[in-house]
């Protein structure tokens, strides 16, 4: 009875199993499967979408942070490099030029006797140790006697206050822009100031000068007298009312100098809409510098240009490491064309930058070829440039333009290694290496080597003597020719340098031919149809006379047979059900199956090895035959072939 009762008590355990089955039964229901399906679809769609938009947002942030790389602002040194020398001295300007700044801001003040000096009232008060003295209170002689070296020790020996004309003579041909900040005072002080500034600009031939002032009267007077002069006006906080000056208040001005805390995206957008440029002044801290870069201003005026250059280089490196790519645009193309003096050449060519050069095209001169090569290099926007005497094929005027606009302009923030025999460009170099007999004989800056080295001094002296001899010879030849022409009653015009004469000849040819016809470019003849069987046969039999082909086919056939055999063996040797006796033992089944698998693997290995060997041998033979035919073909073969479309501008 006890045993019966014990067995009867096992049923609750069975009932528990039933309850467990009932508990897990929802896992197999239709709703649960539908939920699982929706979950899988959600996990398959949502994470990719999330990471897509997340990555897109990251790219937008990087683009916003690095978009200034497409149009980097001009680096303007306020009064020169004020961190190394006293502002508005020849030392400060020289240091700024050596730092490869894009522009220099010069403070312009007028003395009591009407001489314009590069001097600010604030700097004068520091020198004179008098907080009330003004530049207009002193004469030219008194200003010349001021000793700046007691405040800041200059290292170049030129710590004197220059006149505006002396300053422009030093910097106008060394930087891209010169900002003349005219300091004004009472109305009587401004009388004739505009005319004086314009006279000095004209004498210095400063075509890259920008004049701005806090006085709108002076700016408008300059616009009225010289409409071609680039003029700007100042936007700042009015000290009396505390409000910002009117942003768009002067017609004809092309530059708006804005106090940097007032600049925001809306201000830049409004000014650009009126085709004006935004210059931020005076930015001396890292955070405002970054902010100006992100806002995309056209120029940043700073007293520490070296700091700004280092900051721009660090940010540029970060952007490139984050995957930001600098796009090349038509604007950069136009800048490169202008820097390389190719605008006139493209105007003369019949089809501009799409003219085919080479066979049946326009034959370029050596100078044009050299400038095109330089332009192609500049357009790539690399970090390091190597130039091996690039100006040897161009005239002196064009070489000076290329050096100023290309090397000192577009490549001002790049590393340039420049090999040359033209010593007139050496003062602008940061480091000079003098080579002699294949070795570096001297190294250093221009002034240091000039003082210490006899070989370098002799080289400079020989260059100056040759220039003097050439100048005197040219003068004598011109005088002789003019005297001869006067005797013969003939009036002659100077032809000018070779580039002008060459351009004139090309222009005359173009005019004589009338309207240019459609440019003919020979097209390649392409055969249409299927590949002949003998081509396949030559390809098959090229390697070892086709001896490997039968073995490759045999390996492939054996591989397929062994694959079929292994499948048949498994189907035959495996019993259909448990009631049917197996035809072979399990060990026999496994041994035969492994043997068939090993045999098929061996066949496929042999086939692959032979196929690679035959393909490599065939490719090698084809290359050697092609190489042999091309290098041993007559010149008529190369002349008769179609010219390649080597264009100046390639998209």
- What are the start-end ranges of the H helices in 322-390? 330-339, 343-348, 366-379
Cβ pair 389, 420 in contact under 8 A? yes
Cβ pair 611, 617 in contact under 8 A? no
CATH: 3.40.1190.10, 3.40.1280.10, 3.40.190.10, 3.20.20.190. Which one for 74-305? 3.20.20.190
3 state DSSP class of 148: coil
Residue 522 pLDDT exceeds 60 = no
Structure token digits, residue 497: 């340098």
Cβ-Cβ contacts under 8 Å for 313 (sequence gap 6 or more): 413
Residue 150 pLDDT exceeds 70 = no
Residue 177 pLDDT exceeds 70 = yes
Q: Say which residue the tokens 């046969």 belong to.
A: 537
The helix (H) or strand (E) run that includes residue 447 is helix 446-452
Cβ pair 88, 107 in contact under 8 A? yes
pTM: 0.52
CA 144 – CA 129 distance, rounded (Å): 16
Give the angle 508-509-513 at the CA atoms, nearest 5°.
115
pLDDT at 494: 38
pLDDT at 484: 40
Q: How confident is the model at residue 490 (pLDDT cuts 50, 70, 90)?
A: very low
Phi, psi of 112 (to 5 degrees): -65, -25
Domain 74-305 shares a fold with domain 335-430: no
Half-sphere exposure at residue 493, Cβ-oriented, CA atoms within 13 angstroms: 4
CA 87 – CA 162 distance, rounded (Å): 11
CA 135 – CA 122 distance, rounded (Å): 9
Among residues 643, 562, 550, the alpha carbon closest in space to that of 600 is found at 562
Q: Give the distance, in angstroms, between the CA of residue 447 and the centroid of all CA atoms in the same chain.
A: 31
Tell me what the mean pLDDT of segment 471-480 comes to. 49
pLDDT at 483: 44
For 205-245, where are the E strands, in sequence order? 209-213, 230-235
First-to-last alpha carbon distance for the chain, in angstroms, is 102
Please give the mean pLDDT across all residues of the chain: 78
Structure token digits, residue 410: 């577009």
Buried b (16+ CB within 10 A) or exposed e, 352-390: eeebbbeeebbebbebbebbbebbebbbeeeeebebeeb
Q: Cα Rg for the chain, rounded, in angstroms?
A: 41
155 against 171, higher pLDDT:
171
Tell me what the mean pLDDT of segment 153-164 comes to. 66
What does the domain layout of the chain look like in residue ranges? 74-305, 335-430, 533-640
Q: Give the distance, in angstroms, between the CA of residue 427 and the centroid of all CA atoms in the same chain.
A: 25
pLDDT at 54: 67
Residue 219 pLDDT exceeds 50 = yes
pLDDT at 152: 59
pLDDT at 491: 38
Structure token digits, residue 345: 């050449």
3 state DSSP class of 281: strand
3 state DSSP class of 442: strand
Among residues 142, 282, 194, 219, the alpha carbon closest in space to that of 134 is found at 142
Cβ-Cβ contacts under 8 Å for 578 (sequence gap 6 or more): none
DSSP string, 252-269: T--EEEEEGGG--HHHHH
Burial of 540: CB neighbours in 10 Å, binned 0-12, 13-18, 19+: middle
Residue 497 pLDDT exceeds 50 = no
Q: How confident is the model at residue 436 (pLDDT cuts 50, 70, 90)?
A: confident
How many other C-beta atoms are found inside a 10 Å radius of the C-beta of residue 58?
12
420 against 155, higher pLDDT:
420
Burial of 303: CB neighbours in 10 Å, binned 0-12, 13-18, 19+: buried
Half-sphere exposure at residue 453, Cβ-oriented, CA atoms within 13 angstroms: 23
pLDDT at 300: 95
193 against 63, higher pLDDT:
193
Q: What is the DSSP letter of 397?
A: H
* Cross-strand partners of 330: none
Q: What is the DSSP letter of 101?
A: -
CA 140 – CA 159 distance, rounded (Å): 17
Tens digits of per-residue pLDDT, 629-648? 888 877 665 555 544 443 33
Q: How confident is the model at residue 466 (pLDDT cuts 50, 70, 90)?
A: low
Burial of 445: CB neighbours in 10 Å, binned 0-12, 13-18, 19+: middle
pLDDT at 29: 60
What CATH number labels 335-430?
Answer: 3.40.50.300
Among residues 451, 367, 435, the alpha carbon closest in space to that of 401 is found at 367
Tell me what the mean pLDDT of segment 237-248 comes to. 83
pLDDT at 75: 93
* Cross-strand partners of 109: 117
Structure token digits, residue 443: 């190294």
Q: How confident is the model at residue 453 (pLDDT cuts 50, 70, 90)?
A: low
For 112-225, where are the E strands, in sequence order? 116-118, 177-182, 209-213
Among residues 160, 178, 179, 151, the alpha carbon closest in space to that of 91 is found at 160
Tens digits of per-residue pLDDT, 22-35? 544 554 566 766 77
259 against 421, higher pLDDT:
259
CA 357 – CA 40 distance, rounded (Å): 61
């Amino acid at each position: 009875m006890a045993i019966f009762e014990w067995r009867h008590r096992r049923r609750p355990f069975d009932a528990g199993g039933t309850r467990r089955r009932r508990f897990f039964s929802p896992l197999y229901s239709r709703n649960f499967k539908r939920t699982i399906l929706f979950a899988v679809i959600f996990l398959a769609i949502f994470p990719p979408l999330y990471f897509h938009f997340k990555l897109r947002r990251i790219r937008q942030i990087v683009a916003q942070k690095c978009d200034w790389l497409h149009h980097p602002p001009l680096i303007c040194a306020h009064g020169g490099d004020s961190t190394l020398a006293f502002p508005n001295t020849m030392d400060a300007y020289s240091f700024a030029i050596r730092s490869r700044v894009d522009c220099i801001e010069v403070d312009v003040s007028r003395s009591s006797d009407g001489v314009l000096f590069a001097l600010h009232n604030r700097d004068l008060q520091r020198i004179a140790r008098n907080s009330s003295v003004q530049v207009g209170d002193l004469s030219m002689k008194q200003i010349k006697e001021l000793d700046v070296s007691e405040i800041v020790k200059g290292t170049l020996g030129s710590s004197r206050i220059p006149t505006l004309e002396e300053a422009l003579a030093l910097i106008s041909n060394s930087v891209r822009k010169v900002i003349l900040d005219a300091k004004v005072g009472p109305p009587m002080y401004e009388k004739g100031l505009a005319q004086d500034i314009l006279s000095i600009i004209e004498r210095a031939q400063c075509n890259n000068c920008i004049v701005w002032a806090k006085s709108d009267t002076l700016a408008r007077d300059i616009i009225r007298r010289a409409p071609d002069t680039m003029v700007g006006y100042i936007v700042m906080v009015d000290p009396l009312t505390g409000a910002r000056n009117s942003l768009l208040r002067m017609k004809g001005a092309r530059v708006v100098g804005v106090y940097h805390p007032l600049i925001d995206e809306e201000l830049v957008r409004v000014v650009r809409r009126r085709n004006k440029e935004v210059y931020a002044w005076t930015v001396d801290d890292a955070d405002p510098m970054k902010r100006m870069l992100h806002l995309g201003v056209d120029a940043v005026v700073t007293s520490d240009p070296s700091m700004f250059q280092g900051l721009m280089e660090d940010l540029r490196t970060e952007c490139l490491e984050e995957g930001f790519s600098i796009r090349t645009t038509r604007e950069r193309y136009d800048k490169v064309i202008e820097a390389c003096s190719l605008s006139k050449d493209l105007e003369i060519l019949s089809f501009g930058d799409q003219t085919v050069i080479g066979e049946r095209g326009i034959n370029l001169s050596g100078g044009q070829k050299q400038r095109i090569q330089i332009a192609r290099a500049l357009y790539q926007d690399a970090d390091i440039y190597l130039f091996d005497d690039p100006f040897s094929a161009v005239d002196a005027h064009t070489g000076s333009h290329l050096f100023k606009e290309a090397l000192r302009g577009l490549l001002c923030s790049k590393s340039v290694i420049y090999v040359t025999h033209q010593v007139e460009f050496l003062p602008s170099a940061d480091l000079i290496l003098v080579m002699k007999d294949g070795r570096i004989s001297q190294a250093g800056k221009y002034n240091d080597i000039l003082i210490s080295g006899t070989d370098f001094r002799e080289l400079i002296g020989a260059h100056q003597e040759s220039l003097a001899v050439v100048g005197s010879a040219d003068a004598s030849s011109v005088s002789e020719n003019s005297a001869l022409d006067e005797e013969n009653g003939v009036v002659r015009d100077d032809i000018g340098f070779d580039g002008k004469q060459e351009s004139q000849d090309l222009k005359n040819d173009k005019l004589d031919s009338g309207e240019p016809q459609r440019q003919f470019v020979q097209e390649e003849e392409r055969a249409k149809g299927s590949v002949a069987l003998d081509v396949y046969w030559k390809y098959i039999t090229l390697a070892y006379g086709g001896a490997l082909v039968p073995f490759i086919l045999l390996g492939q056939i054996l591989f397929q047979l062994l694959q079929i055999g292994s499948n048949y063996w498994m189907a035959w040797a495996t019993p259909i059900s448990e009631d049917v006796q197996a035809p072979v033992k399990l060990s026999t089944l496994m041994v035969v199956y492994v043997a068939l698998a090993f045999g098929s693997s061996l066949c496929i290995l042999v086939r692959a090895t032979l196929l690679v060997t035959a393909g490599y041998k065939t490719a090698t033979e084809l290359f050697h035959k092609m190489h042999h035919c091309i290098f041993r073909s007559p010149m008529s073969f190369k002349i008769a072939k179609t010219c390649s479309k080597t264009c100046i501008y390639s998209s």
